Amino acid sequence: MVAPAALRVVRCGGGALHGARAVFSVGARQAGRFLLCASGDFVKMYSVATEELVRLLRGHGDLVTGVQLAPHNHLQLYSSSLDGTIKLWDFTDGILIKTFTVGHQLLALYALPASEDSVFVIIPKRDTYQLVSVKLTKAAGQDMEAKELSVVLEGVDASPKCTAFGREVYSPLGDWLLSLLFKFSLRATNKKGGNNVFTCVACHPHEDCIATGHADGKIRLWRNFNHKKEYTFSTLHWHHDKVLDLAFSVEGTSLLSGGVESVLVQWHSGSDCKKDFLPRLGSAIEYVSISSDGTFYCTSHTDNRITIINSNLRFSKTIQGLIKARDIKTGLVVDPRTKALVLNGEPGHLQFYCLQSDKQLYSLDIVQQEYIHQAGLNQSDLARVAFSAQGKWLATVEEREETDLELQLKLWFFDEETQSFRLNTRISMPHEDHVTAMCFRDMDEMEDDSLMLVTTGRDCVFKVWVILEDTDPEGNWSCDFVGSYHGYQATNCCFSEDGSLLAVSFEETVTVWDSSTWDLKCTFCHPPGKIRTICFGRLTCSKYLIGATDHGFLCCWNLLSCALEWSAHLNVVVLQPDPLSEYIAAFSWLFKESSLFVFKPNEPRPICIQRKFCKERIQFAAFVPRDVPETIGSEKYLWLRRSQLFFLTDTQELMTVSTKSLEERLTLSSKQLAVEESLPVTPFSLLLGKHRQQQSQEDVDLGKILLHTPAHVLPSASFLCPIFINSLLVSKENKSVEEAPAEVEMESEGAEDDSDEENTVTEMKQEDIMPTESLGETTHKLSKSEEKELRKIRKTDYSWISVF
């Protein structure tokens, strides 16, 4: 596989799951049910039964803003995006059927059963927004222009929640409803004192009834609105703050509402007295949606979570993406044990986020205090996190700023039995002021007794904490040494790779300490400018200390000569060394654009420069070790071989860099087989399944290909039969591919000669699957036969496949 020359920035999971209302697919059984939701640039399809991500529909070039099932074919899906296109998908197979280019930013999408060939979208028009209906032409072809726009209503709100369609669509009611809404919204803001601004609207599915949510927490049910003056409304009031979304049940007998209280309220028959609650949903409810048969509700939360709820208001499943904390203070930390990304999650919690499966592994309650939703209330939050080298110890610092600062340092021990962290030591007020940095002495082979933790604080000291083992078998942590330097604030700390040296930066100066005697060895500085970050070089470069100052200099000091080795003029925001190699990544922020520089400390010339690759400021970065080193062709990107670089932008978008081209990524579909797994079991498939187990992994799954290739593109049965039989035979060669590659080569070549055409088909399939495997955990080295086949594919002309 030859890597393309360009390095691309890719959103890697963790996208907001609450970009638009999620939709349930229609299916008879729960197993065949999917939940489709917009997530970043993708549409994600989750299985309702297992909450697994089944499919990722990629293709949009910008945020997906609306997802709607096609009203007349429930196996198809419309999605709209800010890139100005509406795409029609066959979501069960993950096929993009059509793309309609509208040419405006699309902010919301509504598909209605009454209007067969048009959908409604909200597009911006100068400062305001308008609701337009788009005629979708039925002509053949994949890419189409949809330029037939007719304006339905001017001056609507941009939020998709502020528009809803009632039972008689596009008849006077449709207009009426909307104009009513906006007529009132103008009036509402004029009222004295009352904060009854509209926040969302929903329409009764069968009756002339509109429910509106208001900023003061009230829900109003409007009726009789088709009379000029005699409209009437009733009020439902439970929420104490903004009503964020409303949804009527399928029959319209109950109304669901959600808000910042993170309680789903079900109102029965429009009565204020009869209501049910599903409390403790974790965070504010952004969207509420209901499956078309009413058996499931789903709520999208602001913390990037989707909760699936049974119709009897029983909590069913939860799909948790990367929680976007309000303020990430911990930075990106990698858990050495699980290789999960660790950062602030829910308030007071630490989330462990698995990058491979784009899923939260678990959430560790650090603060262990009830979080109270109230504006202006200062509550304890997690500020710093550090893991020891093996992930055995976890240190956390939480702070609460009221009139005076409350700090707590907690040390957690990983309990192998319960497989979770247990609180070991709690130290209140470890420093007099904010803790600025924290690190463990980072040695894999070291014994436990040499384990130490260093914290630096704004109170101008750094403290060294060690375990005292006299009281507890596990030991307790206590302070061992307090160091300071000329009364400057300590800002950063870092251990050298072998743990013998500790570098602590005090404003403009970097001090280097011997970690066994706590003697100050030497100091470095690069005036003017305070030290922003420091780090030691690794492996062959362990004699170097790298520091970045806030005056835009990146310096590299040689610890042996105690002199400046080189310096570069670069406004570095984040400096991140790769734990597995010598490479160090530096992100700079210049002219409102971020650039990435990768360098080795012993060479002043960067290995890789990626200028202006991101419009947003990079907040944090982390190298996550790969399970299997990636094959990277280009010398320039060798640094990506063992670790992957992730970074978090200002808007809390988690990104990574990838060398693969867009097309390659598009063909990925991570769990293609999940759909097939839900297919009914037949004797034939049982028979095939048995053989499949016997076959080694790299063998071509011929039977499957035969069954899944459309019949009209297959060669004649007589042609296929010998190949099929061959594939069912238990061949000795197949078992020992590794030992006898030459034989396999021969074998496969023979097969190729037999049926050239057939093999192209199989190889096509293989290519589809292969990148998945290389990304996933079960990656293996390409066998020779596969490489051979690949080479062949490149030669073959398969333009004939394009007919399907």
Which one of residues 51, 208, 433, 550 is an interface residue with other proteins (CB under 8 A)?
Answer: 208
Interface region with other proteins, contact rule CB under 8 A, candidates 88-96, 122-130, 216-224, 428-436: 216-224
Judge residue 481's burial from the number of C-beta atoms within 10 Å of its C-beta, 0-12 exposed, 13-18 middle, 19 or more buried.
middle
136 to 195, contacts with other proteins by CB under 8 A?
167, 173
Which one of residues 50, 73, 179, 226 is an interface residue with other proteins (CB under 8 A)?
Answer: 226
| Sequence-separated (6 or more) residues with CB below 8 Å from residue 288 | 21, 245, 246, 247, 256, 257, 258, 264, 297, 298, 299, 300
Q: Mapping DSSP to helix (H, G, I), strand (E, B) and coil, where does residue 699 land? A: coil
Which one of residues 4, 149, 231, 405 is an interface residue with other proteins (CB under 8 A)?
Answer: 231
Q: Considering the complex, what minimum distance in angstroms separates the CB of residue 269 from other proteins?
A: 8
Pick between residue 90 and residue 208 the one whose CB is nearest to other proteins: 208
Q: Considering the complex, what minimum distance in angstroms separates the CB of residue 297 from other proteins?
A: 24
- Residue 272 within binding range of other proteins, rule CB under 8 A: yes
Contacts 24+ apart (CB under 8 A), 325-328: 325/652, 327/381, 328/619, 328/620, 328/648, 328/652
319 to 358, contacts with other proteins by CB under 8 A?
none
Pick between residue 126 and residue 229 the one whose CB is nearest to other proteins: 229
- Residue 232 within binding range of other proteins, rule CB under 8 A: yes
Cα–Cα dist 302/162, whole Å: 18
- Whether the bond into 71 is cis, omega within 30 of 0: no
417 to 456, contacts with other proteins by CB under 8 A?
none
Number of residues this chain uses to bind other proteins (CB under 8 A)? 22
Pick between residue 265 and residue 367 the one whose CB is nearest to other proteins: 265
- Residue 404 within binding range of other proteins, rule CB under 8 A: no
Q: How far apart are the first and last CA of the chain?
A: 26
Pick between residue 73 and residue 226 the one whose CB is nearest to other proteins: 226
Q: Considering the complex, what minimum distance in angstroms separates the CB of residue 208 from other proteins?
A: 5
Residue from 163, 159, 179 nearest 119 by CA: 163
Share of the chain residues as helix, strand and coil, in percent rounded to the nearest 5: 15, 40, 40
Inter-residue contact 611 to 635 (CB < 8 Å):
no
**495 membership: H or E segment, kind and range:** strand 490-495
> Which residue has 């528009």 as its token pair?
163
Interface region with other proteins, contact rule CB under 8 A, candidates 206-214, 433-441, 594-602, 735-743: 206-214
143-145 and 95-101 beta bridge pairing: parallel
Pick between residue 233 and residue 371 the one whose CB is nearest to other proteins: 233
Cα–Cα dist 214/219, whole Å: 6
Cα–Cα dist 583/544, whole Å: 12
Which one of residues 72, 147, 191, 206 is an interface residue with other proteins (CB under 8 A)?
Answer: 206
- Residue 274 within binding range of other proteins, rule CB under 8 A: yes
b/e per residue, 243-264, with b = 16+ CB within 10 A?
bbbbbbbbebebbbbbbbbbbb
Interface region with other proteins, contact rule CB under 8 A, candidates 231-239, 483-491, 570-578, 720-728: 231-239
Inter-residue contact 16 to 39 (CB < 8 Å):
yes
- Residue 207 within binding range of other proteins, rule CB under 8 A: yes
- Residue 251 within binding range of other proteins, rule CB under 8 A: no
- Residue 234 within binding range of other proteins, rule CB under 8 A: yes
CA atoms within 13 A on the CB side of 681: 4
Which one of residues 273, 377, 560, 730 is an interface residue with other proteins (CB under 8 A)?
Answer: 273
510 to 569, contacts with other proteins by CB under 8 A?
none
Which one of residues 240, 422, 611, 615 is an interface residue with other proteins (CB under 8 A)?
Answer: 240
Q: Considering the complex, what minimum distance in angstroms separates the CB of residue 621 from other proteins?
A: 44
Interface region with other proteins, contact rule CB under 8 A, candidates 144-152, 233-241, 414-422, 490-498: 233-241
- Full 3-state SS string of 168-199: CCCCHHHHHHHHHHHHHHHHHHHCCCCCCCEE
Q: Considering the complex, what minimum distance in angstroms separates the CB of residue 443 from other proteins?
A: 54
Q: Mapping DSSP to helix (H, G, I), strand (E, B) and coil, where does residue 77 land? A: strand
Cα–Cα dist 572/513, whole Å: 25
Pick between residue 273 and residue 803 the one whose CB is nearest to other proteins: 273
Pick between residue 179 and residue 271 the one whose CB is nearest to other proteins: 271
Give every strand in the sheet of 341-344, ordered side by side: 333-334, 341-344, 349-354, 359-365
Question: How many helices and strands (H and E) does the chain possess?
Answer: 10, 53
Which one of residues 126, 229, 314, 605 is an interface residue with other proteins (CB under 8 A)?
Answer: 229
- Residue 235 within binding range of other proteins, rule CB under 8 A: yes
Pick between residue 168 and residue 415 the one whose CB is nearest to other proteins: 168
Chain residues in the site for other proteins (CB under 8 A): 167, 173, 206-208, 221, 223-224, 226, 229-235, 240, 270-274
